[in-house]
A = this chain, B = another copy of it.
Amino acid sequence: MQNKQWILSSFPKGEIQDGDLVLKEQKLAELKNNEILIRNIYLSLDPANRGWMSGQASYVDAMQIGDVMRGGTIGVVETSNNEKFKIGEIVNCMGGWQEYFITDGKGVQIIPQNTGFPLDSFMSVLGMTGMTAYFGLLDITNPKEGETLVVSAAAGAVGSIVCQIGKIKGCRVIGIAGSDEKCEWLTKELKIDGAINHKIDNVREKLKELCPEGIDIYFENVGGPITEAVVTRMNIGGRISLCGLISSYNAETVVPGPAWGNLLIKRIKLQGFIVFDYFKRAMEAFQDIGKWIHEGKLQYKNEIIPGIENASSSIKKLFSGENKGKLIIQISDDPTL
């Protein structure tokens, strides 16, 4: 049996180039005792992937040249030598950019079936994306009714959920996104209070206009001049949830952050977080998010691109902002459809 795999063949400098990842076909190894064979169905493409390819350890080990590209997956168990997993079970794990994944089951979670939610939702709103939004906003910034929340990359997978949870909690929510189309989606569909197109608008001026009482909470996904503009308008006692810095992930030199003077004077709390730290509390997030979806208070958008061969070209959309919602590669047929 053959296995198509995307192999890291050079550490990208700046943007990911064709050739940094190379699609190869390899013979599948024999299944050992205790191992399972998973057929990958969905592959998650995330800004964090870029950091994993940098050659530098961060909150996970550095990837090495020759490794299968790391990535979150949903798959189905096709063969099992491990009593914890049955054939046909749907699982969630770091299965990588490949058609098949062989593992001893460590870190593999079984996804419940017949929940009424489509399988790809477990890769976004009911997966790490939803957890990131939920804990990053609620746990770190403790939003209160009437407070003003600003979200950058607001039309993105995480950002759009943060915006909606902000509304559910009674905040005034202003989103920053990269096109008029996204801004319209945010205000018309997600019903947030205002949106700023950072490619056209003067972000500082717009923030002044849309946040007349200042900014209490900033959910940070981008870094750079947008961050600078937001931090300048924050109120005393403000909180910043530091989730991502996508504007710097392709940078070849270190991009400095905003001066700390404002953080000091305004007594701001800034807290970085990684969703992995919240895995034990996942059910808290999924119960609330599931309920909010049922109640029609929370919507999400997945952009599913078929074909493992499109993974490397598709991930670039995250950095150009072309993706429309959570970016997912469909590697093989979804048996639940």
Is there a chain B Cβ closer than 8 Å to A116's Cβ? Answer: no
Chain B binder among A38-46, A166-174, A200-208, A268-276: A268-276
Residues of chain B lying within 8 A (CB to CB) of residue A265: 58-59, 272, 274
Please choose the segment from A17-25, A148-156, A248-256, A320-328 that sits at the chain B interface, where 4 or more of its residues have CB less than 8 A away.
A248-256
Residue of B at shortest CB range from A265? B58
Known contacts A236-B59, A269-B271, A271-B269: does B264 contact A259 (CB below 8 Å)?
Answer: no
Interface pair B277/A267, CB less than 8 Å apart:
yes
User: What's the nearest-Cβ distance from chain B to residue A243, in Å?
Assistant: 8
Task: Please report which residues of chain A, range 267-307, place their CB below 8 angstroms from some CB of chain B when the two chains form the complex.
Answer: 267-274, 277
B257 touches A242 (CB 8 A): no
Residue of B nearest to A269 (CB): B271
* CB nearest to A255 among chain B residues: B259
Complex Cα–Cα for A270 and B269 (A): 6
Say yes or no: is A212 at the interface (Cβ < 8 Å to chain B).
Answer: no
| Interchain CB contact under 8 A, A261 and B274 | no
Give the docked Cα–Cα distance between A241 and B58 (Å).
Answer: 23
Quick check: is A263 within 8 A (CB to CB) of the other chain?
yes
**CA–CA, A223 and B268, complex, Å:** 16
The CA-CA distance from A66 to B329 in the complex, in Å, is: 67
Would A223 and B257 count as touching, CB distance under 8 A? no
B residues in contact with A244, CB < 8 Å = 264
Q: Which residue of B lies closest to A244 (CB)?
A: B264
Complex Cα gap A108–B33 (Å): 77
Interface check A266, CB cutoff 8 A: yes
CA of A245 to CA of B243, assembled, Å: 25
Contacts of A257 in B (CB 8 A): 256-260
Chain B nearest CB from A136 CB (Å) reads 11
B260-A271 in contact (CB<8A): no
Check if A268 sits within 8 Å of B266, measured CB to CB: no
* Cβ-closest chain B residue relative to A223: B260
Q: How far is the CB of A272 from chain B (nearest CB, A)?
A: 4
Q: Are B277 and A273 in contact (CB under 8 A)?
A: no
B270 x A245 contact (CB < 8 A)? no
Given known A-B contacts A267-B273, A271-B270, A259 and B256 have beta carbons under 8 A apart: yes
Judging by beta carbons under 8 Å apart, are A263 and B242 in contact?
yes
Closest to A261 in B: B245
* A256 partner, pick from B248, B256, B270, beta carbons under 8 A: B256
CA distance A269 to B271 in the complex (A): 4
Residues of B within 8 A of A248 (CB): 259, 261
B277/A264 in contact, CB under 8 A: no
Whole-angstrom CA separation of A273 from B258 in the bound complex: 17
Additional A-B contact list (11), CB under 8 Å, known A243-B264, A248-B261: A59-B265, A59-B267, A220-B260, A223-B259, A242-B264, A244-B264, A257-B257, A264-B274, A269-B271, A270-B270, A270-B271
Please list the residues of chain A having a beta carbon within 8 angstroms of any beta carbon in chain B.
58-59, 220, 223, 227, 236, 242-245, 248, 254-261, 263-274, 277
22 contacts between A and B (CB under 8 A): A59-B236, A59-B265, A220-B260, A223-B260, A227-B260, A242-B264, A245-B261, A245-B264, A254-B259, A256-B256, A256-B257, A257-B259, A265-B274, A266-B272, A267-B271, A267-B272, A267-B277, A268-B272, A269-B269, A269-B271, A269-B272, A270-B270
